């Protein structure tokens, strides 16, 4: 009898909690945003409420804190929250974007422009995870221990006589004086601040971003505390964090791939006399994108990543481009003007033996290279790789942009 009561109690308990358990099976990172529009003040007030379901580690490295960057697009204004070291951080920090701006023009005149709220403008919130840097601190301590005896060496050797100085000391002091005159800092402080900022950004990892269109239809609430009766608000919005998209046509065709994807543009420039000869075939790199799980795996390799694009003509590499090494990330943007490789097309049929090889490589601290993925774009390649090649040759002068997955 007692066993039957216990079983009945367990069955009823499971039924009552089944619904919330189902809702929490696949929890995605989310961010909370509240936007208020004040027509009287001509401002847009964006409040970062908080975030939830954030990853607590990347690979074998734990997350130290989180920070959110908010930007109004189009526009140059952007703000950043303070860092929080919680997996469910709460900020409740408000940032004000002025919608009335004064622009200076020629002859000392100024023009006041009042920006409107419509569906073509967006608020983009990007969340970053800041990783712990215990190995970096340990290395700095070792380096400081090595350098400290050399600084004390002159004291052990005795004091310098009056009037005794070297030319290098004079040059160093003159250099510091010039730097202090122009910048208000000496070279040591400049180098130290630059190195500190660089280390801070190297520890950042992009968790994801969310985009909120400023459609007047979304402003349906009255803010609880407002200066004017005309103020309207979106209320508390909780949006999932997604990988940063490019916005280029054809980006929706990309498919999730375990090793990551790149967005490439292929264009055949027209020749002066004949479209089939002359000109160049140009392959440009726009973006790198991978899932959060893929980035965790890259972190586990304990190294830095880089991309390499090569031009292969008759089995021989004639030209290549290699990116700078970067830390694992879910999204990265490149400059197509510099991140490119070019294949010449001097005569008809010259491109029949040409192909592009794109590689994704990880390189650890010891210099060991680990291939992450690669693919080939060329005339004898099938699938989406060969389709982009065919479209570029069939439409000279047009940029054929596609997302291609690493194999």
The kind and range of the H/E element at 188 are helix 187-202
Average pLDDT over residues 335-344: 91
Joined together, the tokens standing for residue 202 give: 């190297």
Measured at the alpha carbon of residue 57, what is the angle toward residues 242 and 370, in degrees to the nearest 5? Answer: 85
Residue 252 has pLDDT above 60, yes or no: no
Cβ atoms within 10 Å, residue 148? 9
* Euclidean distance between CA atoms 177 and 142, whole angstroms: 31
**270-310 per-position pLDDT tens digit:** 766 555 566 789 999 998 887 766 776 777 666 788 999 99
Residue 155 phi, psi dihedral angles, 5° rounding: -65, -40
| Tokens read off for 333 | 């943007």
Cα 50 to Cα 93: distance, rounded to the nearest angstrom: 9
Please state, in angstroms and rounded to a whole number, the distance separating the CA atoms of residues 208 and 244.
7
List the beta strands (DSSP E) in 99-203. Answer: 100-104, 110-114, 122-131
Could you give the CA distance from residue 382 to residue 366 in angstroms, rounded to a whole number?
37
Q: Are 140 and 196 in contact (CB under 8 A)?
A: no
Question: What average pLDDT is seen over the chain?
Answer: 75
As given in the structure block, the two tokens for residue 336 are: 């197509």
**30 near 51, Cβ under 8 Å?**
yes
Weakest mean pLDDT among 154-163, 339-348, 377-386, 397-406: 154-163
- Residues 341/311, Cβ–Cβ less than 8 Å: yes
Q: For residue range 93-114, what is the model confidence (pLDDT) as tens digits?
A: 999 999 887 766 666 677 777 7
pLDDT reported for residue 242: 80
**Beta-carbon neighbour count of residue 183 at 10 Å?**
11
**Residue 253 clears pLDDT 50, i.e. is over it:** no
Q: Which of 77-91, 106-120, 156-170, 273-287 has the highest mean pLDDT?
A: 77-91
Give the H or E element holding residue 376: strand 369-377
Distance from the Cα of residue 244 to its chain's centroid: 8
Output the pLDDT for position 239.
Answer: 92
More confident residue, 7 or 44: 44
Nearest Cα to Cα of residue 282 among 306, 262, 264, 308: 264
User: Domains of the chain by range and CATH?
Assistant: 30-135+200-240 (2.60.40.150), 246-405 (2.60.40.150)
Percent of the chain predicted with pLDDT > 70 = 66
80: tokens are 């950043």
Q: What is the mean pLDDT of residues 123-133?
A: 85
Count helices and strands (H / E) in the chain. Answer: 6, 21
Asked whether the beta carbons of 49 and 125 are under 8 A apart, the reply is: no
Q: Compare 367 and 207 and report the one with higher pLDDT.
A: 207
Is this model's pTM higher than 0.75 or not?
A: no
Of 195, 205, 199, which is closest to residue 63 (Cα–Cα)? 205
In whole angstroms, give the CA distance from residue 407 to residue 400.
Answer: 21
At which residue do the structure tokens 């200076």 appear? 104
The CA radius of gyration of the chain, in Å to the nearest whole number, is 28
Q: Are 42 and 100 in contact (CB under 8 A)?
A: yes
């Amino acid at each position: 009898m007692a066993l039957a009561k216990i079983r009945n109690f367990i069955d009823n308990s499971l039924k009552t909690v089944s619904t919330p358990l189902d809702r929490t099976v696949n929890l995605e990172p989310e961010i909370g945003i509240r936007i208020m529009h004040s027509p009287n003040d001509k401002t847009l007030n964006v409040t970062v409420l908080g975030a939830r379901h954030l990853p607590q580690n990347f690979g074998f490295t734990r997350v130290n804190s989180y920070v959110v960057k908010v930007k109004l697009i189009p526009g140059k204004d952007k703000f950043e929250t303070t860092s929080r070291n919680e997996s469910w951080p709460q900020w409740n920090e408000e940032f004000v974007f002025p919608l009335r701006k004064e622009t200076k023009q020629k002859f000392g005149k100024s023009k006041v422009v009042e920006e409107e709220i419509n569906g073509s403008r967006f608020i983009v919130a990007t969340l970053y995870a800041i990783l712990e840097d215990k190995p970096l601190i340990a290395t700095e301590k070792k380096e400081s221990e090595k350098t400290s005896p050399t600084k004390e060496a002159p004291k052990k050797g005795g004091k310098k006589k009056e009037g005794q100085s070297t030319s290098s000391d004079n040059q160093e002091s003159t250099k510091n004086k010039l730097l202090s005159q122009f910048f208000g800092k000496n070279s040591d402080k400049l180098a130290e601040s630059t190195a500190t900022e660089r280390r801070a950004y190297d520890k950042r990892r992009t968790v994801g971003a969310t985009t909120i269109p400023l459609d007047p239809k979304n402003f349906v609430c009255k803010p609880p505390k407002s200066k004017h009766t005309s103020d309207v608000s979106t209320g508390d919005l909780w949006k999932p964090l997604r990988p940063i998209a490019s916005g280029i046509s054809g980006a929706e065709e990309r498919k999730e791939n375990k090793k990551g994807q790149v967005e490439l543009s292929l264009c055949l420039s027209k020749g002066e006399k004949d479209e089939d000869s002359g000109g160049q075939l140009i392959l440009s790199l726009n973006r790198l994108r991978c899932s959060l799980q893929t980035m965790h795996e890259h972190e586990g390799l304990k190294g830095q990543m880089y991309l390499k694009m090569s031009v292969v003509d008759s089995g021989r590499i004639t030209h290549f481009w290699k990116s700078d090494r970067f830390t694992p990330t879910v999204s990265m943007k490149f400059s197509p003007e510099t991140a490119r490789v070019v294949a010449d097309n001097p005569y008809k049929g010259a491109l029949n033996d040409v192909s592009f090889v794109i590689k994704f490589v990880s390189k650890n601290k010891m210099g060991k290279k680990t291939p992450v993925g690669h693919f080939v774009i060329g005339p004898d390649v099938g699938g989406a790789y060969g389709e982009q090649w065919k479209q570029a040759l069939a439409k000279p002068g047009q940029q054929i942009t596609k997302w291609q997955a690493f194999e």
